[in-house]
Amino acid sequence: MQRRGLLALGRALGLNGRLEAPAASACSRAFSAQPSPSDDGDGVPDAERPFRASDLVVERSTVRQPPVDLEALKFGAVFTDHMFVAEHAAGRGWAAPAIRPLAPIALHPAAQVLHYGMCAFEGMKAYHGADGRMRLFRPEANMARLLRSAHRLQLATFEPQEMLACLKQLLVLDSGWLPAREGYSLYIRPFMFSSSGVLGVAKPIATTASILLSPVGPYFKTGLSPIALFVDEHNRRAWPGGAGDYKVGSNYAPTIEPQVRAAAAHGTPQVLYTFRESAQHPDDAAFEECGAMNIFFYIKQRDGTRVLATPPLAGTILPGITRDSILQLARSWGAAGGVDDVVERRVTLAEVQQAHQEGRLLEVFGSGTACIVQPVGSLVRVNGEVYTAAPFDPEAGLAARLQRALMDIQYGRVEHPWSVAVE
């Protein structure tokens, strides 16, 4: 494994998978595409060529796609002219990374990703800044998490800054696809998978890394309006000791069937998963996360204090970058911002049920790169119980204020070290 890659991973991720804030700065940073200097003493065998942005090859597309109709845009259904691809082979290392016209990726039918789901991915966004510059939001954290997920699957490793340099080149090349409208962005999908053409559950001998760009609008058609979530008390998204805290494909594919069933039976767009031991009472089940969002509960305690709580990172929950950003913002606001305490702890069905019955369930909302902040109006249980939060306040509500604060950073309307200008 490349030593510098592990050092970068360690800086951005704690031992328990928590994301740390990037080093503070007095102003927004401009991301440089300059690759790291060569280091012959990094412990990488001569035969293993490292991943280097300086080797990037660019092939421009000769096909011009028609302009995007933002009014008819579906999330993740339209892609830009180019893609990034890099191939790694055990014993040889990384071939020259390339930006080339968008096209299918050829795979051997025995490729391990097709049989064993050996893939990891990320979700990022590029924004049209208020100053006219393209901006990224905490991209180092995404690259660190991708590296961590790749290591969990024993895929080839890479230098996060080198991958970011390649991503920057791709963004510059397809910058004309970046929507200038508020609430719209370029969704960035870095992903890696085992392209080893071998039928066997073993360490991959071939890895493919790629990045796609997709112009998108709001993830939920309702925008910043509350949705209902079905509380799944039967299916488990992840199990202790598994890979629930890694962004790998095997955590997402099994959630489709419960989501489809919930939509058909209850009209909910997503499922909120819970976890409990078999001997525990159903009401003692603890909330985990949704299929595509972390979850937050804003509850007024009986003593009057207002607490923002989210399930802890204990190995079954993805360490969301938006989640971490919300925790940091809310803690910095404190009581003056309406939050007396911000905690990462178990939140049970019984607690939410009681808060709902006593009128103390102030807000419930999800968080993620795709939706940023998504208000939740009601939680639906299979036994027919429905727990509702207080009416959503689009101006003074906590979810609304967090959404505005995050978007102000993402679009560069305020100076913040999380906002990285692409130049």
Q: What is the CATH number of the domain that holds 265?
A: 3.20.10.10
Query: Would 72 be classed as within a structural domain?
Result: yes
3-class DSSP state for residue 4? Answer: helix
Q: Averaged over 133-151, what is the pLDDT?
A: 98
Residue carrying the six token digits 């390649």: 166
| Mean pLDDT, rounded, of the chain | 90
**What is the number of structural domains in the chain?**
2
Give the model's pLDDT for residue 218.
Answer: 85
User: Has residue 216 got a pLDDT over 80?
Assistant: yes
Query: Would 404 be classed as within a structural domain?
Result: no
Give the model's pLDDT for residue 31.
Answer: 38
Q: Residue 296 carries which side chain, given as an amino acid letter?
A: F
Give the model's pLDDT for residue 11.
Answer: 44
User: What are the beta bridge partners of residue 207?
Assistant: 88, 194
**Is 196 found in the same domain as 62?**
yes
User: What are the beta bridge partners of residue 88?
Assistant: 94, 207
Phi, psi of 293 (to 5 degrees): -150, 150
**Is 235 found in the same domain as 214?**
no
pTM of the model: 0.88
The C-alpha atoms of residue 217 and residue 181 are separated, in whole angstroms, by 9
Q: Averaged over 106-135, what is the pLDDT?
A: 97
Structure confidence by residue, pLDDT tens digits, 239-290: 999 999 999 999 999 999 999 999 999 999 999 999 998 888 999 999 999 9
Query: Would 343 be classed as within a structural domain?
Result: yes
Instruction: Assign residue 182 the CATH number of its domain.
Output: 3.30.470.10
- The percent of residues in the chain predicted with pLDDT above 90, rounded, is 82
Q: Are 293 and 219 in contact (CB under 8 A)?
A: no
**Is 131 found in the same domain as 252?**
no
- 330 is in which domain, residue-wise? 227-393
| Tokens found for residue 107 | 């795979």
> For 43-52, 58-67, 114-123, 412-421, which range has the lowest pLDDT when averaged over its residues?
43-52
3-class DSSP state for residue 106? Answer: coil
Cα dihedral 295, 298, 301, 306 in deg (nearest 10): 130
Q: Averaged over 220-241, what is the pLDDT?
A: 90
Q: Averaged over 303-318, what is the pLDDT?
A: 97
Give the model's pLDDT for residue 47.
Answer: 65
**Is 231 found in the same domain as 216?**
no
**Is 131 found in the same domain as 97?**
yes
**Is 237 found in the same domain as 382?**
yes
pLDDT tier at 30 (50, 70, 90 boundaries)?
very low
Structure confidence by residue, pLDDT tens digits, 315-368: 999 999 999 999 999 999 999 999 999 999 999 999 999 999 999 999 999 999
Q: Residue 41 carries which side chain, given as an amino acid letter?
A: G
**Is 143 found in the same domain as 31?**
yes
Give the model's pLDDT for residue 410.
Answer: 97
Query: Would 356 be classed as within a structural domain?
Result: yes
**Is 235 found in the same domain as 164?**
no
The C-alpha atoms of residue 400 and residue 405 are separated, in whole angstroms, by 9
| Tokens found for residue 226 | 């509350």
**Is 215 found in the same domain as 352?**
no
Query: Would 46 be classed as within a structural domain?
Result: yes
Give the model's pLDDT for residue 277.
Answer: 86
Query: Would 400 be classed as within a structural domain?
Result: no
**Is 197 found in the same domain as 245?**
no
